[in-house]
């Protein structure tokens, strides 16, 4: 398992996250239309905060090191939501998690207003699929002092899977993230707070996704932590022919491949199962200390 020695930890506001082993980011979608679990936290067309909090608590108990709250779906074909609607979906749950659970809270957003409000309420990380490219996002992220994950994508959610093309997907993604990281540092984000995400499934074909997975060590070699989000994605269906609710085995396999390729953070739906799979990988690689 590749684990770059120059980045043993990530500063997430007031918390230091040890990255000497892969960490688990649990997904909590407060949306009615996410591809995997959209609407599962809703009751009578409204977000059930108690149900969402129960999921958050269960994920922490199962081994999540980070909880990633998202209020806008970024699945292929997704429609945007208003800034206020996204804020209303995310902030009440964030406030309860910060008050009740001992965990780093990440906000999955491209919305500068939500970034600012989340930072003020105790979030530790911004996870932005648009890599702080929206107007004002970079300045807000820099001012917040939070850890920031910047992701590669090709196109916007509504159209990104139409016809993605690359000269060389690994080189292109690495070049983009290297340059974007430099732009973020120039804009005031401290380099030691940056995380890179190759954006599996965001403007990539099946072949592109597996090429990125096979070449993940090249991204790790840039000297910044790497986040991999492969859980339940359609690439599993394209190989195995499995619907979303039958992709656990494929998700676990991809999580282990990503960890072996040097990923520091794994963004997953199935926290307990991923925790156990990573524990077995660790035992296999460190059997002499058992």
pTM, full prediction: 0.93
For 111, the token pair is: 């919305």
Q: Is 15 a catalytic residue?
A: no
Full pLDDT tens readout for the chain, 290 residues: 444 444 479 999 989 999 999 999 999 999 876 666 656 787 767 788 999 999 999 999 999 999 999 999 877 666 778 999 999 999 999 999 999 999 999 999 999 999 999 999 999 999 999 999 999 999 999 999 999 999 999 977 666 666 788 999 999 999 999 999 999 999 999 999 999 999 999 999 999 999 999 999 999 999 999 999 999 999 999 999 999 999 999 999 999 999 999 999 999 999 999 999 999 999 999 998 88
Contact criterion met (CB below 8 Å) for 90 and 69: yes
- From residue 141, alpha-carbon distances to 149, 185, 262 in Å are 10, 11, 26
pLDDT of residue 36: 61
**3-state SS assignment for residue 275:** helix
Q: Is 267 a catalytic residue?
A: yes
Provide the angle, in degrees to the nearest 10, between the axes of the packed helices 169-186 and 206-214. 70
**3-state SS assignment for residue 279:** helix
Q: Which domains does the chain have, with CATH numbers?
A: 18-289 (3.20.20.20)
Q: How far apart are CA 271 and CA 268, in angstroms?
A: 6
> CA-based angle 235:130:179, to the nearest 5?
100
For 32, the token pair is: 């009615």
Q: How far apart are CA 198 and CA 15, in angstroms?
A: 25
Q: How far apart are CA 64 and CA 58, in angstroms?
A: 9
Q: Which member of 193, 233, 242, 246 is catalytic? A: 233
Q: How far apart are CA 145 and CA 11, in angstroms?
A: 9
pLDDT of residue 217: 96
């Amino acid at each position: 398992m590749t684990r770059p020695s120059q980045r043993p930890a990530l500063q997430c506001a007031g918390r230091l996250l040890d990255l000497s082993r892969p960490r688990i980011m649990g997904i909590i979608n407060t949306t009615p239309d996410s591809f995997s679990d959209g609407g599962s936290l809703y009751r009578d067309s409204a977000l059930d905060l108690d149900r969402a909090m129960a999921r958050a608590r269960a994920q922490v108990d199962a081994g999540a090191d980070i909880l990633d709250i998202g209020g806008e779906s970024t699945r292929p074909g997704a429609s945007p939501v208003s800034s206020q609607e996204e804020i209303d979906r995310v902030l009440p749950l964030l406030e309860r998690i910060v008050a009740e659970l001992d965990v780093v809270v990440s906000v999955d957003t491209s919305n500068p207003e939500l970034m600012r409000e989340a930072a003020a309420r105790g979030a530790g990380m911004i996870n932005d699929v648009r890599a702080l490219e929206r107007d004002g996002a970079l300045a807000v992220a820099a001012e917040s002092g939070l850890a920031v994950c910047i992701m590669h994508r090709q196109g916007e959610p509504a159209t990104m899977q139409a016809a993605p093309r690359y000269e060389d997907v690994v080189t292109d993604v690495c070049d983009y993230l290297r340059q974007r990281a430099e732009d973020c540092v120039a804009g005031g984000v401290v380099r030691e707070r940056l995380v890179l995400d190759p954006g599996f499934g965001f403007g990539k074909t099946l072949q592109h996704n597996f090429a990125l997975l096979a070449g993940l060590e090249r991204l790790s070699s840039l000297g910044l932590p790497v986040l991999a989000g492969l859980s339940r994605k359609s690439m599993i269906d394209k190989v195995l022919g499995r619907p979303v609710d039958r992709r656990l085995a494929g998700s676990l396999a991809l999580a282990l491949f990503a960890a072996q390729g040097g990923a520091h953070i794994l963004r997953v739906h199935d926290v307990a199962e991923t925790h156990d799979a990573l524990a077995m990988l660790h035992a296999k690689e460190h059997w002499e200390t058992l």
